Amino acid sequence: MRPETLLDFMGVAEHLKCNMRHSRMTDHRRESVAEHTYRLCVFAWLVKEEFPDCDMDKVMKMCLFHDLGEALTGDIPAFVKTDDDRETEGDALTLLTAMLPGKERQELDELFGELEREETMEAKIVHALDKMETLIQHNEADIATWLPLEYDLQMTYGEKECMADPYLTKLREVIRQISEDKITAEGEDRESSYYIRKDIENMHLSEVTDLLRSTEWAEDRTEEMIRKSMENSCPYGLFLKAGTGEGRIKESSMAGKDRQIGFARVLTDGVTTFYLMDFVIEEKYRSQGFGTILMDRIMKENGHLYGMLHTKDAKAFYEKYGFRAIGDTKTTEEIYMEKPCS
């Protein structure tokens, strides 16, 4: 390999040292993609004797390069990653491997293809270890750095991947138990810092007004219009409890007052159909799982009905709940979506 090519590729790989992941370390700083990759390789080496029939050298190579695309895209947490993000990462890999000579390029392309298809035992091992390394890191971090949704994720993340082998399943169960013990030992309740309420009498009108006016679609609504819209629908509010500490939630609630940071309302007959409207999370609390928490509650109570909504830029989020775009989405600014009753 030409020295210039080698150094160019090394320069790109250096970005993995700079790009930070969501996970926190025991010293409270965020880990880099490179740090995650290094320990994933250590993880693979430690379990190699458990898989005598597998090509563990290939597993090590897959671990070494599995997040290479993030040198260009940066890390996107699994709980907010969309299909578009995955496509962007795939494009980044194509650009990166194109930097290499034919032999090395072919080798990496084949490894990435095998990982993506997840058909071989080697690929399944890498996917399982990748998710468990993340879980281990969360267990090692201060629980104050956990987001609300991570209390559930620590119980469920990677379960499917770890079913590929009895040893992986056993290891996943041990990690889950450590998570449960950590929550118990710290005396934390995953809903201790936030709660959801329904009905207009529980909404903070001024805060709902601020939330809606921060959006493009409701920036001109008056407080009276917003109040009337809540009277004629079923409003949902997501609240942070007063005194919520910095760490698990990035900003504290106002002293002495629970703060409403999320809002949505549902129009429904309660029997056949519901229409979801005005779904919004305060900007500084986005990408922390609060949108998922609020949407989970709404779908728990209404998801059995035929559902409708429209959105401009949250299509992937609603697809997770069974909504699908209808009509020609390329010719309209807003995307109309529906889900069947269940």
Question: CA-CA-CA-CA torsion for 326, 330, 334, 339, nearest 10 degrees?
Answer: 20
Backbone angles phi, psi at 100, to 5 degrees: -95, 160
Mean pLDDT of the chain: 90
Q: Is it the case that residue 176 has pLDDT exceeding 70?
A: yes
Q: What is the mean pLDDT of residues 97-101?
A: 96
Task: Categorize the per-residue pLDDT at 48 as very low, low, confident or very high, splitting at 50, 70 and 90.
Answer: very high
Task: Categorize the per-residue pLDDT at 243 as very low, low, confident or very high, splitting at 50, 70 and 90.
Answer: low
Kind plus residue range of the DSSP H or E element containing 20: strand 20-24
Distance CA 50, CA 182 (A): 28
Distance CA 313, CA 67 (A): 26
Q: For position 255, what pLDDT does the model report?
A: 44
* pTM given for the model: 0.68
Q: Out of 135-139, 167-171, 190-194, which region has the weakest mean confidence (pLDDT)? A: 190-194
Burial class (CB in 10 A: 0-12, 13-18, 19+), 22: buried
Q: Is it the case that residue 187 has pLDDT exceeding 60?
A: yes
Find, among 29, 102, 39, 31, the residue nearest to 66 by Cα: 39
Question: pLDDT by residue (tens digit) across 128-161?
Answer: 999 999 999 999 998 878 877 788 889 999 999 9
* Residue partners of 124: CB distance under 8 A and separation at least 6: 118, 161, 164, 165
Q: Is it the case that residue 92 has pLDDT exceeding 60?
A: yes
Q: What is the mean pLDDT of residues 320-340?
A: 84
Q: What is the mean pLDDT of residues 249-263?
A: 67
CA-only gyration radius of the chain, Å: 23
Distance CA 98, CA 91 (A): 11
Instruction: Name which residue leads in pLDDT, 232 or 242.
Output: 232
Q: What is the mean pLDDT of residues 250-265?
A: 72
The letter for the amino acid at 91 is D
Q: Is it the case that residue 247 has pLDDT exceeding 50?
A: no
Find, among 160, 97, 100, the residue nearest to 130 by Cα: 160
